[in-house]
Chain A
C-alpha cells in the first residue's frame, strides 16, 4: 500500500528572514514535494530532544517544486522562534503532506480569484503556481489575487504572485500601500464589476475575513473555498481536537451541525458548508 503521508527528517536548505518577523524555510523533501497539493500542510517538530515545546506546529506548504518544499512563517511564539534558529544542513522532523488541500476546478475556462489575509498568502502562492500550470494549457484563464495586510510592512508575496502573471490588488488597513481598508471591500468592488464567467474564490486568512467572503460569495453566486486554522495536537485526525462546525447533510433539526476535523476533512472547506459562530 502506498503511503499518503510521510514522517521523516528532512534537510534544511535555507531558512532566511523575508522581512521583520517573516521567514522562509526551504527543505529538501522530495517525498512530500511530489505528493503535495496546494492547501495541504505539514506538522513540524520544533523541539529536538527536550520535548519543549511538546506539540508539533502546523504550517502550510508554500511551494513544492523540484524535490523541495517551502514554508513561509511568522514568528508568533516559542515554536516559530525556535524554527528561525535552524541552519542549512540541519534536519527537521516533518509529517506531511496533511489535509485535503484545495480542489482545483477543471482546467476549463474558469477564472480564479485568490484572496489572502495576512499569512494567508502562504498556501495561496502554491495554489497560484498550480493554477498557472493549468493556465499554460488554457490561455483564457485569468488569476486575480487580492492581498490584505495590516501595513505595507506586513505585505508578503506581491512580487511572487506578479511574476506568475497574476493580477495583484492590495489593501492595507492603514493605507500605506494600495487600497486603504479591508481586502474584502476591494474584492466586492471587483465582484460587482464582473459580469460574466463565474470565478471560483480561493481564500485563506483570519476567520472574520473568511466569513465576509462567504457572504460575498453567496451574494454573487460563486463557489468559494477557504483554508481554516485550528489548534492542533496531532494533525493526523487522531485527537478530535481541531474541529469546526459545518453543515450536516443529514440534518433533521434546524440547528443540527457536524464537527469536522480541520486537519483531516480540512483545512479547506467550501465556505457555504461552514457554520459561523461567536468562537
Chain B
C-alpha cells in the first residue's frame, strides 16, 4: 500500500503536507547541503516587506526551556531584491513557493507587494504575516477581527493566488480572528506564529534579548498551538497549516489529528536541518501502519470520549 500524502489548499496542490515555517528556512539555499529540497511539500519564505528592513538590535535569540525566543524584527532584503536574487533559485527547486509578506505601519504595502507577487509565475501562494510580534507597532492586525477582515478582503481583491492568513496566538479568542479571515476570502490559515515572551539574565538583571521581549517557538509552545488548531478546526471550514513545536513525526501527527490539513516545521530546522524529509517518511510509515489511504483521513480524526 502506498499512502497518498497529497493535499490541496485552495487551488494550491501539494504532493505532501509538510512545509517549512516562515523565517526558519531562509530562502531555501541555506539548506541545500542538508536535504533534497525537492522533497518538501512547499517552501514558505522568510517574510518579505516592500522596502528592505534591517531588523532589531542583537542579541536577537536566546534559548529557553524546550524552546527559544527570537526578536529578529523581519530583517529582509525587500521585495525588489527578493524578486531579483531569491526567486530564480526558489523557482528552480520545483517545489510550490509560498511567499510570506508583511508591513509594519502601512497596510497598503500588503496590497502593493501582493500585486507584484501576483504577476510572478513561480509564486504559488501568498501568506499574510499579520502576526509578527517583533515590530514596534505592538498592536497586531491579527489581534483584531475587524482589521483582519479589512486587510484580507483587500488583498483578496488584488490576487488570484492562494491566500493564507497567518494567525497569532497572542489573542483572547483565536476563532474570532479565524472566522474573520475566512469571511474575507482567505483560502487557508497558518497557525500559530510565536507566543510573546521574555527571558532575563539574573546576574546582570538584563533582558536576554536586546528588544526585551520576543517570540517563543519550539516544543514548549506545542500544546498551545495544538489547542488553537483544534478550536479553529471546529469553527471554520478552511484548511489549516498547523505549526508550533513540531520536532518529529509524532508531534506532526498530533497536528493532523487535531485538525490540520498540513503542517509546517520551524525551529526544528535549526536543531536538525534534515528533519522535514524524516517527518515525510514518518508520516508515510504511520499511514501504512494504520491502514490510512490518504493523509486527509487523519485531519481532525481526534477520538474524544463521549
Of the candidate stretches B18-26, B122-130, B150-158, B172-180, the one touching chain A is B18-26
Q: Are the C-beta atoms of B66 and A238 separated by less than 8 Å? A: no
Contact of A279 among B210, B247, B274 (CB under 8 A): B210
Using CB atoms, name the residue of chain A closest to B209: A231
A-B contact count (CB 8 A): 105
> Chain A at the B interface: mostly helix, strand, loop or mixed?
loop
Docked CA distance A238–B33 (Å): 13
Contact assessment for B63 and A236 in the assembled complex, using a CB-CB cutoff below 8 Å = no
Partner of A54 from the list B34, B58, B219, B273 (CB cut-off 8 Å) is B219
Is the beta-carbon distance between B61 and A237 smaller than 8 angstroms?
no
Contact A239 B70 (CB under 8 A): yes
A244: chain B residues at CB < 8 Å are: 58
Tell me if A56 is interfacial: C-beta within 8 Å of chain B: yes
| Interface residues in B46-91 (C-beta closer than 8 Å to A) | 46, 54-55, 57-63, 65-68, 70, 72, 75
| CB pair A7 B269 closer than 8 Å | no
Shortest distance in angstroms between A239's beta carbon and chain B's nearest beta carbon?
A: 6
A233 and B70 form a contact (CB under 8 A): yes
Is A52 within 8 A of B66, CB to CB? yes
Tell me whether B270 is interfacial, beta carbon within 8 Å. Answer: yes
A179 located at the interface, meaning its Cβ lies under 8 Å from any Cβ of chain B in the complex: no
Task: Indicate if B30 sits at the interface (CB-CB under 8 A).
Answer: yes
A243 to B219, CA, bound (A): 25
Nearest residue (CB) in A for B23 is A239
Give Cα A259 to B54, complex, Å. 7
Closest to A78 in B: B63
Please encode chain B, from 261 to 302, with 1 for each CB lying within 8 Å of some chain A CB and 0 for all others. Answer: 000000101111110000000000000000000000000000
For the complex formed, measure the closest distance between the CB of B138 and the CB atoms of chain A, giving whole angstroms.
21
Contact of B67 among A4, A54, A243 (CB under 8 A): A54
- Chain B residues lying within 8 Å of A233, measured Cβ to Cβ, are 61, 68, 70, 267, 270
- DSSP class of B's interface residues: helix, strand, loop or mixed? loop
Check A231 against B61 for contact (C-beta < 8 Å): yes
The number of residues on chain A lying at the interface, defined by a beta carbon within 8 Å of a beta carbon of chain B, is 33
Supposing A54-B67, A55-B68 touch, asked if A238 and B270 sit within 8 A by C-beta, the answer is: yes
- For A243, the chain B residues whose CB sits under 8 A away are 55, 58, 60, 75
Closest to B220 in A: A54
**A241 touches which one: B34, B60, B218 (CB < 8 A)?**
B60
Shortest distance between the CB of A191 and any CB in chain B (Å): 31
Query: How far is A3 from B66 in the complex, measured between Cα atoms in Å?
Result: 31
State which of B55, B59, B66 has its C-beta within 8 Å of the C-beta of A230: B59
Shortest Cβ distance from residue B212 to the other chain A in the assembled complex, whole angstroms: 13
CB distance from A29 to the nearest CB of B (A): 15
Please pick, from A55, A230, A242, A279, the residue contacting B271 in the complex, using a CB distance under 8 A. Answer: A55
- Chain A's nearest CB lies how many Å from the CB of B195? 15
Q: Are B34 and A259 in contact (CB under 8 A)?
A: no
Query: What chain A residues lie within 8 Å of B219 (beta carbons)?
Result: 51, 54
Shortest beta-carbon distance from A110 to chain B in Å: 33
> What 6 A-B pairs come out closest when comparing CB atoms?
A241-B61, A234-B270, A238-B26, A238-B30, A5-B33, A233-B61
